[in-house]
Amino acid sequence: MKVLKAAVAALFAAASFAASAAYPDKPIRLVIGFPAGGPLDQHARLLADRLQAVLGQPLIVDYKAGAGGTVGAQEVMKAAPDGYTLMLANTGVMVINPGLYTRLPYQTLRDFTPIARTAMQPLALLVDPKLPVNSLKEFIDYARTRPGQ
């Protein structure tokens, strides 16, 4: 509940510069860079329900699937910075994609302002058990001695 309160407070702060009407005075779009039923779907629906109740405006979950979340991120990057287009993104979209791809249409720190962490999920690096490594350091060393494999 603390995260929800922080998210709502951030939404109000982000929109305080908007027109003289009280925020929010129209529906809010929540962009997800994955398909319905995908990695963020259930979380997005729960978050939208809670925020609708608190804000008194509909939250429209808008799925913009493609390119590992990049299509949705680009959609939000191009939207007016008025607090009415939000993005629910995961680590993949904001951290991993920029580390993997050199030609993304967005830069996480330049083009987005984080307003709330709404969930935490552990990540793991897994390898085939036949690989002779038992730690990240061993894996990196193993990979470096076999470039291109």
Q: How far is CA 124 from the centre of its chain?
A: 19
- Alpha helices per DSSP H over the chain: 2-15, 41-55, 70-78, 91, 97-100, 108-111, 136-144
| Sign of the Cα pseudo-torsion (7, 113, 91, 76, in order) | positive
Averaged pLDDT in 10-residue chunks for the chain of 149 residues: 52 52 93 91 94 96 94 96 95 92 94 92 88 95 93
- The torsion angles phi and psi of 141, rounded to 5 degrees, stand at -60, -45
Position 38 scores a pLDDT of: 84
For 103-114, b/e burial (b = at least 16 CB within 10 A) is ebebeeeeebee
Count of residues making up the chain = 149
Position 11 scores a pLDDT of: 53
Distance CA 138, CA 125 (A): 13
Taking the domain 2-121, which CATH number applies?
A: 3.40.190.150
C-alpha distances out from residue 100 to 104, 112, 132, Å: 9, 18, 25
